[in-house]
């Protein structure tokens, strides 16, 4: 079979041999191959001179021979050949493909082949001749692309085939980002397709590039297109879409709405003032500044910024506005300046050069109305000259008197030449919302809500801001996670990457911006903010009232104020009112301000308070984790590890215990089925490392040894459950040894039981019996009825495994009796009773008493369903499905298998998965749905490889034998299925018989005998 040599040269180059990418040891090999694929036949002298211009002819040819040898060796054959001593070409037995061939043949049809410039990023050191050839080819292909691209764009637009238009114009822009014709083409396309926001965004993109790179503005033709866009958008203003369109960078929809009102201001058409709302750093001011800087007509702008520190300074923002207003009135030589000064000086003494006087702290409504009217008249005078824009930043910090005055000015502003642009940080102030409600009711303003970027928008934003930076996925994930989509933080992280290629969680600018959010808090508010920062997720109100030194009503009021200021948010978690910061950066900032001593003291205090709650709700997994977290930050490592391990223990009981024991008070919430987190093993490793680090300090401490045993047991169970038997068993053996040494009966029994479970999984009855005997001796000595009940069931299973059905049945009944007696006081053993019924059902199935088996199985299922024992329920669904399959009730069997599959999809246990998928493949084989057969047999094989149970292997071979037989008998043509059963039929039959249990798999062996005994003889 001939080799295929493939080249991708239009863009970042790559070379593949038979689909496998080849990386060569030095760039001269690449250069040789690139030159050959373009020129097909080349002269040895020519290429030697190009690649080694500084060498003499003999050395250059020697280097060329070596390069050819290295190239052929790396590609795995004689790809480059020399028909004679002077010519090089590719071997005629090799199929050579290249995107350049397809592009040269028909560039119009294969336009997508041109991904970027020819050999993008490739550079050959010290070879001017190769550089000249490279520049020539780049120009050739680029010119060809541009010509065909313009042609295709024009034709696509004329035929309304717009799918590729935007992409192709963007490619033209990428080739020359200063060519306005391409931007004009894109803007026209957007206008014609009623995407005015995108047209405005494109204009801003061009304007920014020209301003930053060349210091110029867009040309007149581009500006006219821009004005045309605004005109069209204005015509459609009445039915603007309320839903925000997808824009990750320039917020074109918001820009468009702001632009429309500014355009109408100029054209004396109806408009509204604009209030831009959003969280700190979301880009409110940047958006407004961007639009204001690109206004295409002459205007005056009065700007004032409100400060939190001056929130109680009466009419302070209006002082600054009126100072600017008076300067404009004087500059334009408008009449009656003295009258304005006299009017304004009643509330603003600085107009009379009386700066030392303090302002009045209140004003009568009549005076306020008079002042508003006077200001409105002054603004009207200025507006007659040119449009007037009043830009107010941080409206949330404006004092109450200024808000009243602003409301009055806006409501009594009938003029078509004054517009207010305002920014408002998310939060709650009654005065602000009253203002918004009042002026919006009379259609004086519109509000634009800026949301943080979504994760994919953050990634796109980063790549657009730093197009030449090679972002790692982990870097983008960090920025998206830490910034929470806030542009201020994203830009700070990008700045760090540019300057030092590092990422600090908090930068000085972030600290400065965040510090402003927490000025002027009361002592109690500051204290509560500190306390909230100590909590990992949310701070329960019940704990905050115990931590803060104040009355409950005062604490409630302070929390409400913090909520209204947009600093914290209120949520209900586990039926309790809790508080957390609005953004994680706020939490990080406040927490970083705490002293080392305070961190220890408060974390310990919180841990103690949480321990008191634990007495009310035993073994709450999340609560255990929280206590461990606080003790760790209080530098109490043993206590921290104890609670963290208890958290893992509670979690593993839910996720990995087939038949767990639960107290009645937890039955309502015990088995919320979910998968173990992928990081679970990493958490175990971290705890193991921490235990190792403190071993020298605590090696003789009994508490430490108990923690070590607990850790080894939990990690061992987890590893065995995940199929890592070697490491898991090593852990459990260490548990048994240490439990004996330190007389830890509970963990000794747990260790023995884990070994028993392992031998059940590996179908090793002999070793299982050994550990049952050892465990039973310990359980009887300790008078541990719970363990005795479990061990009786396990001993029954042993007898089931060796074919002693009568003895097994007796032991299962005895186990049920013990647990039923215990359940009179606390129904925590339902799962264990159900497990015994499940094994009794299996015994009846082995005896072919299918109806009796189904009744017993239903008992097991009902016990689990009634008590929400989902992990065990999945097992029983599988076993019910097997019984129904043996009864040949395939439709009902399918229903139970699919029920089990739903539960298995969200659990970590591998138990019974082989049986489930093997039988599903057989059901769909019966139903002739061969795609599903292939799907489930693949899943069966993947789980088989993770387990060491020979019965599972036997079942896989059993199902493969039946599938193979069906393929041969019915001549099924399904390549996917055929690839899964490539061995001879006799092989699968023999392997099935070898691995299946002669006692527990009687049904499967009987099917094999009935189906294949004639063929086997």
For 398-443, write each residue's pLDDT tens digit.
988 889 889 988 887 666 788 999 999 887 788 888 999 988 888 8
Least confident of 264-278, 611-625, 679-693, 739-753: 611-625
Pick 43 or 724 by higher pLDDT: 43
The pLDDT value given to residue 734: 93
**Who has greater pLDDT, 155 or 254?**
254
Among 554, 550, 522, 518, smallest CA distance to 533 is for 518
Return the pLDDT at 345: 64
Q: Per-residue confidence at 654, pLDDT binned at 50, 70, 90?
A: very low
CB burial of residue 824 (10 Å; 0-12, 13-18, 19+): exposed
Within 8 A by CB and 6+ apart from 251, the residues are: 283, 287, 450
- Measured CA to CA, the distance from residue 867 to residue 23 in angstroms comes to 60
Task: Kindly tell me if the per-residue pLDDT of 239 is higher than 50.
Answer: no
pLDDT of residue 845: 94
**Averaged pLDDT for residues 746-773:** 91
211's enclosing H/E stretch is: none
- Residue 33 banded pLDDT, cuts 50, 70, 90: very high
Long-range contacts of 90-93 (CB under 8 A, 24+ apart): 90/5, 90/36, 90/37, 90/40, 93/2, 93/3
The pLDDT assigned to 667 comes to 33
User: Can you tell me the mean pLDDT for 175-195?
Assistant: 81
Give the mean pLDDT of 7-19: 91
- How sure is the predictor about 353, in pLDDT bands with cuts at 50, 70 and 90? very low
Predicted confidence at residue 616, as pLDDT, reads 65
- Residue 919, pLDDT score: 94
Give dist(CA 738, CA 752) in Å, integer.
Answer: 13
Give all strands (DSSP E) within 279-417, no chain letters: 300-305, 388-393
What gap in Å lies between CA 693 and CA 698, rounded to an integer?
10
92 alpha carbon, distance to own chain's centre: 50
Per-residue pLDDT for 807 more than 90? yes
> How much is the pLDDT for 334?
62
pLDDT at 1: 60
* Interval 479-494 mean pLDDT: 91
**Any idea which residue has 């301000």 for tokens?**
593
Query: What pLDDT does residue 534 have?
Result: 96
Is residue 657 pLDDT above 50, yes or no? Answer: no
pLDDT (0 to 100) of residue 341: 64
Pairing label, strands 14-17, 4-8 = antiparallel
Which of residues 46 and 429 earns the better pLDDT score?
A: 46
- Mean pLDDT along residues 893-919: 84
Is the pLDDT score of 386 beyond 50?
yes
In the chain, DSSP finds a helix count (H) and a strand count (E) of: 45, 15
Q: What is the pLDDT of residues 830-869, one digit of tens each?
A: 888 999 999 999 999 999 999 999 999 999 999 888 766 7
Q: Among 155-164, 395-404, 670-679, 797-806, where is mean pLDDT lowest? A: 670-679
| Total length of the chain | 1017
């Amino acid at each position: 079979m001939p080799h295929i040599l493939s080249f991708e040269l239009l863009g970042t180059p790559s070379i593949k041999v038979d689909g496998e990418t080849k990386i060569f040891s030095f760039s001269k090999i690449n250069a040789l191959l690139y030159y050959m694929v373009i020129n097909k036949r080349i002269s040895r002298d020519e290429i030697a001179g190009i690649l080694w211009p500084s060498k003499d002819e003999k050395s250059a040819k020697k280097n060329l021979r070596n390069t050819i040898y290295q190239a052929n060796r790396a590609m795995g054959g004689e790809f480059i050949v020399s028909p004679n001593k002077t010519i090089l070409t590719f071997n005629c037995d090799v199929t050579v493909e290249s995107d350049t061939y397809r592009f040269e043949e028909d560039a119009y049809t294969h336009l997508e082949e041109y991904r970027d410039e020819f050999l993008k990023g490739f550079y050959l050191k010290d070879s001017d001749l190769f550089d000249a050839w490279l520049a020539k080819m780049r120009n050739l292909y680029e010119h060809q692309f541009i010509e065909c691209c313009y042609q295709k764009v024009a034709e696509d637009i004329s035929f309304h085939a717009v799918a590729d238009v935007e992409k192709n114009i963007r490619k033209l822009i990428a080739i020359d980002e200063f060519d306005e014709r391409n931007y004009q083409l894109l803007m026209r396309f957007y206008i014609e397709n009623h995407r005015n926001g995108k047209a405005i965004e494109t204009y801003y993109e061009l304007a920014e590039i020209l301003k930053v790179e060349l210091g110029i503005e867009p040309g007149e033709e581009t500006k006219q297109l821009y004005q045309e866009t605004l005109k069209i958008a204005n015509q459609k203003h009445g039915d603007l879409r309320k839903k925000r369109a997808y824009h990750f960078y320039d917020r074109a929809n918001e820009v468009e709405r702001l632009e429309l009102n500014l355009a109408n201001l100029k054209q004396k058409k109806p408009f509204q003032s604009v209030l831009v709302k959003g969280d700190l750093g979301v880009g409110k001011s940047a958006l407004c500044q961007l639009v204001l800087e690109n206004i295409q007509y002459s205007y005056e702008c009065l700007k004032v910024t409100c400060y939190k520190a001056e929130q109680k300074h009466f009419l302070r923002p209006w002082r600054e506005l009126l100072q600017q207003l008076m300067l404009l009135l004087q500059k334009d030589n408008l009449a009656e300046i003295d009258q304005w000064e006299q009017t304004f000086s009643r509330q603003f003494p600085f107009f009379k050069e009386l700066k030392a006087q303090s302002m009045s702290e209140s004003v009568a409504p009549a005076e306020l109305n008079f002042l508003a009217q006077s200001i409105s008249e002054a603004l009207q005078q200025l507006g007659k000259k040119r449009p007037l824009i009043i830009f107010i930043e941080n409206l949330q910090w404006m004092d109450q008197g200024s808000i009243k005055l602003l409301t009055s000015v806006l409501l009594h502003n009938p003029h078509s030449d004054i517009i207010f642009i305002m920014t408002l940080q998310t939060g709650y102030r009654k005065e602000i919302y009253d203002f918004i409600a009042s002026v919006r009711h009379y259609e004086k303003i519109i509000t634009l809500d800026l949301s943080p970027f979504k994760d994919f928008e953050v990634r796109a934003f980063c790549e657009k801001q730093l197009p030449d930076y090679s972002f790692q996925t982990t870097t983008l994930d960090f920025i998206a996670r830490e910034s929470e989509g806030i542009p201020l933080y994203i830009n700070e992280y990008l700045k760090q990457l540019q300057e030092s290629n590092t990422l600090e969680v908090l930068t000085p600018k972030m600290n400065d911006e965040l510090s402003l959010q927490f000025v002027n808090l009361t002592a109690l508010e500051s204290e509560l903010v500190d306390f909230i920062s100590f909590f990992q997720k949310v701070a329960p109100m019940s704990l905050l009232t115990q931590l803060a030194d104040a009355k409950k009503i005062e604490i409630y009021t302070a929390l409400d104020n913090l909520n209204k200021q947009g600093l914290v948010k209120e949520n209900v978690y586990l039926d309790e009112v809790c508080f957390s910061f609005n953004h994680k950066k706020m939490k990080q900032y406040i927490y970083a301000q705490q002293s080392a001593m305070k961190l220890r003291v408060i974390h310990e205090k919180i841990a103690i308070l949480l321990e008191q709650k634990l007495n009310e709700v035993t073994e709450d997994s999340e609560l255990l984790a929280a206590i461990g977290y606080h003790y760790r930050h209080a530098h109490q490592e043993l206590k921290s590890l104890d609670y963290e391990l208890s958290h893992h223990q509670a979690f593993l009981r839910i996720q990995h215990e087939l038949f767990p024991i639960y107290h009645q008070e937890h039955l309502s919430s015990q088995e919320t089925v979910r998968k173990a987190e992928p990081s679970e093993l990493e958490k175990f490793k971290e705890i193991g490392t921490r235990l190792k680090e403190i071993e020298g300090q605590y090696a003789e401490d009994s508490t430490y040894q108990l923690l070590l045993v607990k850790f080894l047991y939990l990690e061992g169970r987890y590893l065995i459950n995940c199929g890592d038997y070697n490491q898991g068993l090593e852990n459990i053996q260490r548990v048994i040894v240490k439990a004996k040494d330190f007389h830890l009966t509970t963990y000794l029994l747990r260790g023995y039981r884990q070994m028993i479970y392992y031998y059940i999984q590996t179908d090793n009855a002999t070793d299982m019996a050994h550990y049952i005997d050892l465990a039973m001796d310990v359980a009887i000595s300790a008078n541990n009825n719970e363990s005795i009940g479990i061990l009786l069931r396990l001993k029954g299973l042993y007898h089931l495994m060796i074919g002693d059905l009568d003895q097994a049945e007796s032991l299962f009944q005895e186990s049920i009796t013990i647990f039923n007696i215990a359940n009179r006081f606390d129904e925590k053993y339902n799962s264990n009773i159900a497990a015994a019924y499940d094994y009794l059902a299996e015994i009846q199935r082995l005896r072919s008493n299918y109806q009796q088996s189904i009744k017993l199985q239903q008992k097991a299922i009902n016990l689990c369903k009634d008590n929400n024992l989902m992990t065990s329920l999945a097992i029983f669904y599988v076993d019910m499905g097997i019984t129904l399959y043996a009864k040949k009730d395939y439709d009902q069997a399918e229903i139970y298998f699919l029920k089990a599959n739903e539960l298995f999809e969200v659990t970590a246990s591998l138990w019974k998965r082989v049986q489930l998928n093997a039988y599903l493949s057989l059901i769909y084989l019966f139903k002739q749905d061969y795609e599903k057969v292939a799907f489930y047999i693949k899943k069966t094989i993947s789980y088989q490889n993770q387990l060491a149970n020979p019965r599972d292997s036997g079942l896989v071979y059993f199902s493969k034998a039946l599938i193979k037989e069906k393929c041969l008998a019915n001549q099924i043509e399904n390549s996917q299925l055929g690839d899964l059963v490539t061995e001879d039929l006799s092989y699968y039959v023999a392997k099935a018989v070898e691995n299946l249990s002669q006692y527990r798999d009687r049904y499967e062996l009987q099917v094999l005998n009935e189906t294949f005994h004639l063929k086997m003889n």
